[in-house]
Amino acid sequence: MDKTLHLADLGNHLEDGMTIGIGGWGSRRKPMALVRALLRTDVKDLTVVSFGGPDVGLLCAAGKVRRVVYGFVSLDSIALDPHFRAAREQHGLPVTEYDEGMFVAALRAGASRLSFLPTRAGLASDVLAMNPELRTVASPYDDDVYVAVPGLRLDLALLHLNRADTAGNAQYLGPDPYFDDLLAAAADRCVLSVEKIVPTAELTATAPPQTLLLSRMFVDAVVEAPNGAHFTSCVPDYPRDEVFQKHYVDAAANADSWRAFTGTFLSGDEADYQEAVRSLHAARVPAEVPA
């Protein structure tokens, strides 16, 4: 039952044209080490399903995305991801934009192997106008009408949690599970990164059982990736790196600054990335004034 995987071997789980669900929420607990590993592959033409943040932005900037299915794409403390915005405004990236309730209904349907689920979310809104392929369905019990949200099935889910054992039982320690469990259940395969791989007994030694978000039956591979959600938050292990996030946004302003950013932070492996982040912060610390 040892499902541990080296980060560099993520490419073995990837193919062109896949539909990939990415966990987390905005700029919170995103599987960024896995996203960076994906960026280092030649995989392209992806449909990305996400409550999006910099995961979507980086993949758009790299030209790997064919379509994005989302409830929102935001950096939280910064409203819009610049690369996703450019992909939409300048390049006409195809998208499926749902109300957040509809997005969750689509994941629930996919996780339950249902072709759709009815929901009130989206009724009497422009979501239906913007997604003309959506249909409504009449209740067989009364006169109510619902939006019939198509189920989202994923080829692969990429997730990041705080802890897991080698079999894939995984735990979140922050205030919110987001919808990572639905993404895992809706996917044919799931690759999970965690801050730390621990013995199974340790998962419940200091935290209640309800923090065990994922059962091993939904996880195909586990990657130990300390600081693997950076620059998004992974509380209580660390907060969002606001300094780096602003650096990321500022670098997207033009081609030259983005080229410099990718050369510094995205041209090497994960160890190179983490070292470059440490160097960035070290350079910002004022030198001590001699006595």
Closest CA to 225 of 281, 130, 160: 160
Do 30 and 21 contact (CB within 8 A), yes or no?
Answer: no
What confidence score (pLDDT) does residue 286 get? 65
| 46, part of any domain | yes
* Residues 8-28: tens digit of each pLDDT: 999 999 999 999 999 999 999
Distance CA 238, CA 202 (A): 20
| 271, part of any domain | no
Domain count, the chain: 1
Sheet arrangement for strand 135-138? 116-119, 145-150, 135-138
- Asked whether the CA dihedral 63, 65, 70, 76 is positive or negative, the reply is negative
Find the mean pLDDT for residues 179-202.
98
Q: Is the pLDDT of residue 291 over 60?
A: no
3-class secondary structure, 254: coil
Distance CA 28, CA 160 (A): 10
Of all helices (H) and strands (E), which one includes residue 245? helix 242-251
Q: Is the pLDDT of residue 288 over 70?
A: no
Do 21 and 188 contact (CB within 8 A), yes or no?
Answer: no
| 61, part of any domain | yes
| 129, part of any domain | no
How many Å separate Cα 84 from the centre of its chain? 14
* Residues 44-103: tens digit of each pLDDT: 999 999 999 999 999 999 999 999 999 999 999 999 999 999 999 999 999 999 999 999
3-class secondary structure, 159: strand
Q: What average pLDDT does the chain have?
A: 96
What confidence score (pLDDT) does residue 284 get? 83
* Domain span including residue 16: 7-110+151-243
What confidence score (pLDDT) does residue 78 get? 97
What ranges in 40-185 are assigned the alpha helix state H?
54-61, 82-89, 100-111, 126-130, 180-185
Distance CA 4, CA 83 (A): 32
Find the mean pLDDT for residues 199-220.
95
| 140, part of any domain | no
Distance CA 43, CA 63 (A): 10
Find the mean pLDDT for residues 201-205.
94
| 274, part of any domain | no
What confidence score (pLDDT) does residue 1 get? 85
- In the chain, the N- to C-terminal Cα span, in Å, equals 59
Q: Which CATH number covers residue 100?
A: 3.40.1080.10
Distance CA 164, CA 173 (A): 11
Q: CB count, 10 Å around CB of 253?
A: 10
What confidence score (pLDDT) does residue 290 get? 53
Find the mean pLDDT for residues 159-170.
98
Do 33 and 7 contact (CB within 8 A), yes or no?
Answer: yes
| 43, part of any domain | yes
Query: pLDDT-derived band of residue 170, with 50, 70 and 90 as boundaries?
Result: very high
Q: Is the pLDDT of residue 234 over 80?
A: yes
What confidence score (pLDDT) does residue 285 get? 72
What's 234's DSSP letter?
B
| 250, part of any domain | no
